[in-house]
């Protein structure tokens, strides 16, 4: 297990459409090692989620959640620690809501991004078992943010109002600016 370097916005590897995790890789030692590295990297950076492209791995693989309250979002509902392969998101309803986001690949900045309020997400866990959840609010936001990394989209590309985009330390003085998510 190892903490890997997180690519920053501007690196063309963050703009790729990621490849599906091949069937023969699911359950493999290589995949479990990759997931362990991603978990180490996310935890070291105090992130709420991480996508494989952020460490330069061109695969449809995201991790998010913690199973415990995020000190950076004490009000937010607890999201179970989830490893998700080859995810598919379906928006439920037309309702979008705005919320602040940050990204480990865009350190020091935050912006308001519209996201579907309620979604269903489906995929596989690293053992090949299916994951199928219907979620809303912050949980739905985190999943949409992470899965955007799999289609080469970083959250600033979804910001509509740049008067609500800026440096964390200016927008939220007092918040621990040493980490983003
Ligand atoms: Zn991100």
**In whole angstroms, what is the distance from residue 34 CA to residue 36 CA?**
5
Report helix, strand or coil for 32.
helix
Closest C-alpha among 100, 16, 90, 10 to residue 51:
16
Q: Average of pLDDT values for 154-164?
A: 98
7 belongs to a structural domain: no
Can you give the pLDDT at residue 69?
A: 76
Residue 30 in this model has a pLDDT that exceeds 80? yes
pLDDT of amino acid 154: 98
Instruction: Assess if residue 79 is contained within a domain.
Output: yes
- 4 inside domain: no
Which residues have C-beta under 5 Å from ligand 1, the single-atom ion? 103
Helix (H, G, I), strand (E, B) or coil at 148: helix
The total of structural domains in the chain comes to 1
- Please report the pLDDT score of residue 176 as a whole number: 60
d(CA 28, ligand 1 centre) in Å: 26
Q: Model pTM greater than 0.85?
A: yes
Q: Quick check: is 139 in a domain? A: yes
Q: Is the per-residue pLDDT at 178 higher than 80? A: no
Is 157 part of a structural domain of the chain?
yes
Structural domain contains residue 5: no
75 belongs to the catalytic site: no
23 burial level (CB within 10 Å; 0-12, 13-18, 19+): exposed
Domain residue limits at 167: 12-179
92 token code pair: 């439920």
pLDDT, one tens digit per residue, over 65-76 is 988 876 766 777
Helices (H), the chain: 29-44, 137-148, 168-171
Q: Does 174 map to a domain?
A: yes
Q: What is the DSSP letter of 70?
A: B
**Confidence band, pLDDT 50/70/90 cuts, at residue 151:** very high
Distance 93 CA to ligand 1 centre (A): 24
CATH of the domain at 121: 3.90.45.10
Is 2 domain-assigned? Answer: no
């Amino acid at each position: 297990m190892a903490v890997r370097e997180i690519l920053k916005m501007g690196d063309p590897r963050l703009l790729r459409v990621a490849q599906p995790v091949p069937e023969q890789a699911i359950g493999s030692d290589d995949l479990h090692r990759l997931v362990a590295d991603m978990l180490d990297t996310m935890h070291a950076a105090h992130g709420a989620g991480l996508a494989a492209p952020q460490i330069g791995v061109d695969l449809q693989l995201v991790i998010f959640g913690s199973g415990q309250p995020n000190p950076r979002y004490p009000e937010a509902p607890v999201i179970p620690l989830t490893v998700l392969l080859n995810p598919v998101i379906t928006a439920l309803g037309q309702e979008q809501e705005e919320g602040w986001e940050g990204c480990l690949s865009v350190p020091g900045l935050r912006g308001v991004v519209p996201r579907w309020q309620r979604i269903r997400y489906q995929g596989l866990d690293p053992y090949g078992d299916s994951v199928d959840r219907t979620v809303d609010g912050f949980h739905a936001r985190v999943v949409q943010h992470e899965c955007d990394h799999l289609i080469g989209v970083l959250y600033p590309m979804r910001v509509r109002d740049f008067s609500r985009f800026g440096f964390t330390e200016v927008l939220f003085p007092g918040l621990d600016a040493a980490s983003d998510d």
